Amino acid sequence: MSAGRRPHPPRSDSADASGRTWESRRHAYHQRMTRRIDAALFVGVTAVLSVVVSANQAGSRSPDLLAYLWAVGLGALMLVRRSMPRVVLVLTALGFFTYYIAGYPAIGVALPISAALFSATEAGYLRASALTGAVVLAASTAFRLASGQSASFVLGYELLGHAALIAAVIALGYSVRARRDLQRRTDQVVRLVTRQTAMDTAADAREHQLRLARELHDSMGHSLSVASLFADVAREADAADRRADALDRVKSGVSEAMAQLRSTVAVLRSAGDDPLVNPTFHDLRRLLDGAASAGYEVTLTVDDEVNASPDVQACVYRIIQESVTNTMRHSTATRIDATIDCREELVLVTVHDNGGGGARVPRFAPGHGVRGMRERVTALGGSFDVHAGPGGWRVRATLPAAAQQ
């Protein structure tokens, strides 16, 4: 390990030499700690009850082996308090009454049932704990008054103390459970947020990939289509000046494709802002000049009232660009008409060519270009339609003028 580097914390899906994951190791550690806590409660309850029993206070029967076995029995219930909390609560209450009926030394009311009340409340049985505590306290008080003990002492001193201790134990169990539930909900929220963040990150990455794929297909596809077209022109040209002009067009198309490729590579390598520059309506004339130079009759009509956002302008540009590319690659057209109109905060773009030659319908098989146009329009909340018929290709899109991606 190089200097200055810290080891990474273990991940939840990492495994040790034995093949156990971090989650399984944490679960095993939690189980060990749980068993140790229950064992400590067993020892503590048994020891405290044994000490109190040994005090031999106000009992008609001296403590014997059975009394201490009773203390051990109540302590042993702590070992199963998590799996059977209500059973432990009932057995503790019955054991309390049995102990006093047997005439053993007084050990109070709250002390022998506190651990059971806490365990049941911690397990979620708040009402059962409160009811058991009230029943035990009331029965003990009635029994002591019936046996002739001083009412002022039983009611004025011990009753309040035992009631306060029982209430405190139940409150402590409830607070422990509430804290545990809060921690569990917090962990669940953290897991959900983490999962959602990962899904959002993956979705953003996927959208970024799709955008780059569309940019590569539309920009480079058009440039290379123009270059291919003028390569055919150069091969068939008779005049040297026409051949030279066509070769210049080929060189310009290839250079533009390389520029687009370098720009896309820069995006892939960049860890910061996206350096791709969106084209605008002002770039359309230069785009259509290539088709016009290739011999197509091109018209562009733009409504003066169109005031579209940069994202919409870029989308319209790519629609016209891809439509022109498809015409140059797949159609027999000689004319391309592009129209951009504005109607009630909507931008309408139509691209139509005259390919098809009368009744002959041009072959239409949607590919990456048509899919890319549809994705662009849909992302901006618009509608898209493409149609191939005897009159040629027609691409239509409707976009909200102020749409933002």
> Model pTM?
0.49
Q: What are phi and psi of 383, to 5 degrees?
A: -125, 150
Q: Per the domain annotation, does 209 fall within a domain?
A: no
Distance separating alpha carbons of residues 48 and 40, to the nearest angstrom:
12
What is the chain's pLDDT, residue by residue, as a tens digit (405 residues)? 444 444 444 444 445 545 557 777 777 877 888 888 888 888 988 888 888 888 776 667 788 888 889 889 888 888 888 888 888 888 988 888 888 788 777 777 777 888 888 889 988 899 999 998 898 888 888 877 776 667 777 777 778 888 888 899 899 999 999 998 998 898 889 888 888 888 887 787 777 677 777 666 766 666 677 777 677 777 777 777 777 777 777 777 777 777 767 776 776 666 555 555 678 888 888 888 877 877 788 899 888 777 888 888 888 888 888 888 888 777 788 899 999 988 778 899 999 998 864 334 445 455 677 888 888 888 888 999 988 777 788 899 999 987 655
Q: Per the domain annotation, does 286 fall within a domain?
A: yes
Distance separating alpha carbons of residues 263 and 259, to the nearest angstrom:
6
Query: How many Å separate Cα 165 from the centre of its chain?
Result: 45
State the distance between the two ends of the chain, measured CA to CA, in whole angstroms.
45
Which of these three, 129, 149, 169, is where a domain ends? 149
Distance separating alpha carbons of residues 161 and 110, to the nearest angstrom:
9
Element (H, E) at 301: strand 297-302
Which of these three, 149, 172, 200, is where a domain ends? 149
Domain of 324, CATH number, reads 3.30.565.10
Which of these three, 100, 117, 149, is where a domain ends? 149
Question: Which residue range is the domain that position 283 belongs to?
Answer: 278-405
Q: Per the domain annotation, does 186 fall within a domain?
A: no
| H-state helical runs in 148-307 | 151-153, 159-215, 221-236, 240-269, 284-293
Element (H, E) at 76: helix 65-76
pLDDT for 359: 39
Contact 193, 139 (CB under 8 A): no
Q: Per the domain annotation, does 259 fall within a domain?
A: no
pLDDT for 33: 86
Distance separating alpha carbons of residues 221 and 244, to the nearest angstrom:
23
Angle value at C-alpha 32, between 28 and 37, nearest 5 degrees: 145
Distance separating alpha carbons of residues 182 and 179, to the nearest angstrom:
5
Query: How many Å separate Cα 390 from the centre of its chain?
Result: 50
Return the structure tokens found at 364. Answer: 């239409």
Q: Per the domain annotation, does 396 fall within a domain?
A: yes
pLDDT for 357: 43
Q: Per the domain annotation, does 115 fall within a domain?
A: yes
pLDDT for 351: 92
Q: What are phi and psi of 381, to 5 degrees?
A: 80, 25
Q: Per the domain annotation, does 157 fall within a domain?
A: no
Q: Per the domain annotation, does 301 fall within a domain?
A: yes
Three-state SS for 303? coil
Query: Number of folded domains in the chain?
Result: 2
